[in-house]
A and B are shown apart, each in its own frame.
Chain A
Amino acid sequence: MKPPSAVEPSAAKGIAYLRGAPLMAFALIYTIVSGGPFLWVAMMSLRTTPEIFASPYALPSSIHWEKFVDAWTKSNYGTYFWNSTIVVVTAVALLTVIGAMVAHCLARYRFRGNRLVRFVILSGMILPPQLMILSLFQILLEYHLYNTLTGLIIVYVAGHLAITVYILEGFFAQIPQDLFDAARLDGYSDLEIFWRITLPIGVPALFTTVTLNFIILWNEFLYAVVLLTEDDKRTLPLGIMHFMGNHQLDVGMVATGLMIAIGPVILLYAFFSETMIRGMTAGAVR
């Protein structure tokens, strides 16, 4: 190819900008569409319900921080938050360890029935949760796990194992076999190799699954609402229901409750988004 010698450098720059323009426009629209509602809720969370009804889109005229205190103290929010934290952190930790081990085995060992195991695990991804919820309800009742956080944790781990294994296995399979062979010759057992080679090299992929699982489970509603009915067992997404009374909707408090619920997710994303994107796009080792 010949360089476009007829074009002056500055003109070339202009063309480059023009080429980038559609992409920029798309990014802008996407940001407005996805960020706009969030900003709107954030503003409503600082305004009282009468203020919101008077003028739904206005900026906060006076900032009502006390609404956050109200939300936390006047309802069971502390309990919900704590329940959510226990359930999600435990489930994500279990998912990470179990999922990584499964993925490591599927990616590294050729054993009898290996394809069947993979198929069974991964087929879990395509089952819609609505399909299983009744049978899960029955099973949890039978094992006295209905209305317990443990029960919900088990359901979460089982439900998300497939996608976790799927992401991790793809990444682990790219780690060259030579590394494992070298570690074996260096005297390490299979389990030690998992801890000292697979896991540290797989950190970007682990960040991906941790973040993904955390965000999805933190917001999970369907299983939680069916499997937890006692108020002091509820998780945050159910807690927000509290502000949606039977007769009227306290829009201002719902917004405040939502902001409290979203907070940890935003924090997590702020810290890990870059690592997570790297984990999803990059190869394992170069």
Chain B
Amino acid sequence: MARVAITELSKLYDGGGEPAVKDLSLTVGNGEFMVLLGPSGCGKSSVLRMIAGLEPITSGKIAIDGEIVNEIPAKDRDIAMVFQSYALYPHMDVFNNLAFGLRRRGIAKTEIERRVQGAASKLGLLPFLKRKPHALSGGQRQRVALGRAIVREPKVFLFDEPLSNLDAALRVSMRNELIRQQREMGITAIYVTHDQVEAMTMGHRICIMNKGEVIQIGKPLEVYRNPANTFVARFLGNPPMNLIPTSVEPDGGAYQLRVGGMSLPTDCWPAETLSRLGGKALLGIRPEDLYETAQRPDERRRIAIARAHVIAVEPLGAETLIILSLEGAAEEVTMRSGRETRLRPGDNATIELDLAAAHLFDPKTAQVIPPVHEEREARWAKAE
């Protein structure tokens, strides 16, 4: 168990113009499961490889339990990593794959035997101990890779997209397996993925990265509900948050948002901030915060009514996605509706926007405009 503290970490590859990682700071607590989430190429693997000691650090510090490990070689860091490719040793059977890391550490033979048997039985690998990796299925290989990390009982687990080579069903079951093992052992874990479902379901906290930088760190639902900028807003959530360009217009002492022919009140946001926007803002609203008139469950929400035209209807089984164009606005928005929806393409519909769940972004900086708080806090408190 260990605490991993990363301070202003940067990585510049030879011959690469832009740094792959820029001034990244992050602390992962003892026993915490931290997910690094971001689009492919944003530097997640680079961070992980620097923590592991597989890649030299350009600048910044990495400390494990307070000890700076920048100069400690990978073999002495006591870190276990699960690779996307599994990286099983092809010339060794499953038993030896699991035991390889223990042998080097001078652990007694009986203890190695005990640990390997233990991990193998936890992961359902006992029947395959004498098999070579090429004679295993994808799911079994994945288990061996996980087992190889588990037997080591390291200070830190690192996972680099370990589930992305599995098919959908296996991925779900391995996801749960992995969470269970990590929670049981209480070993600090850093998990890299570009899959937001994995991030939302697995992590104690998520660190969202883009272009080598940390964009936002927080608990999964916190980040989902309070995205720091438009990148997070669109990256988390499927379908992503609607971002509707609006104009901010003075209305007496206050301001109004105009979307096409519709005016929305702005009392969720401080007028002073709105005044600095230069007349333009992006209204962010998640598909599940749009309602068909009859389906809104809760009376207390701050509702705005909009007229819209149905462009497409996508039934997904459990729910139906409705693609709409708001009256007088060019942008398409997506609404998440029940499976029993009556809307058909070409219909005109009246929809309701839950303004209490909406976000406002500054189009120039893409950053969120912090709302007036009481409203929001009360709402989340209730939801939790």
Contact = CB atoms under 8 A, between A and B. Distances in A.
Interface string A255-286: 00000000000000000000000000000011
Given A176-B85, A178-B85, A201-B90, A185 B104 contact: no
Contacts of A178: 83, 85-87
A179 B86 CA distance: 9
Contacts of A286: 90, 134
20 contacts: A176-B87, A178-B86, A179-B87, A181-B49, A181-B81, A181-B83, A182-B83, A182-B87, A182-B89, A182-B148, A183-B100, A184-B73, A184-B75, A186-B75, A187-B76, A187-B105, A201-B89, A201-B90, A201-B91, A203-B91
B104 A200 contact: no
Interface in B175-204: none
Interface string A147-187: 00000000000000000000000000000101101111111
A185 B100 contact: no
B313 interface: no
B87 A181 contact: yes
B91 to A, nearest CB: 4
A132 interface: no
Given A178-B85, A181-B81, A286-B134, A186 B90 contact: no
Interface string B84-102: 0111011100000000110
Contacts of B89: 179, 182-183, 197, 201
Which of under 10, 10 to 19, 20 to 34, or 35 or more describes the interface residues of B? 20 to 34
Interface in B316-352: none
B105 A181 contact: no
Q: Which of B75, B80, B86 has the most CB of A within 10 A?
A: B75
Contact of A185 (B79, B90, B134): B79
B75 A189 contact: yes
What are the 4 tightest A-B residue pairs by CB atom distance, in nearest-first order? A186-B101, A178-B87, A187-B104, A182-B87
Given A187-B75, A286-B134, A181 B104 contact: no
A192 B76 CA distance: 14
B166 interface: no
Interface of B: 14, 49, 52-54, 73-77, 79-81, 83, 85-87, 89-91, 100-101, 104-105, 134, 148, 152
A186 B86 CA distance: 14
A40 interface: no
A266 B117 CA distance: 46
A285 B104 contact: no
A75 to B, nearest CB: 46
A184 B14 CA distance: 22
A188 interface: yes
Contact of B54 (A184, A189, A200): A184
Given A176-B85, A178-B85, A286-B134, A185 B91 contact: no
Contacts of B83: 178, 181-182
Most chain B C-beta atoms within 10 Å of own C-beta, residue among A187, A200, A201? A187
Contacts of A183: 89, 100
Interface residues of A, number: 20
Given A179-B89, A197-B89, A185 B105 contact: no
B104 A182 contact: no
Given A181-B52, A181-B83, A187 B91 contact: no
Interface in A12-71: none
A197 B97 CA distance: 12
Contacts of B77: 185
A189 to B, nearest CB: 6
Given A181-B52, A182-B81, A187 B87 contact: no
A203 B91 CA distance: 10
Contacts of A184: 53-54, 73-75
Contacts of B74: 181, 184-185
Contact of B75 (A179, A188, A201, A203): A188
B104 A186 contact: yes
A189 B14 CA distance: 24
B90 A285 contact: yes
Nearest to A179: B87
A178 B66 CA distance: 28
A207 to B, nearest CB: 14
Contacts of A201: 89-91
Nearest to A182: B87
Contacts of A182: 81, 83, 87, 89, 148
Contacts of A189: 75
A187 B90 contact: no
B91 A200 contact: yes
A186 B91 contact: no
A147 B358 CA distance: 91
Nearest to B104: A187
Interface string A107-125: 0001000000000000000
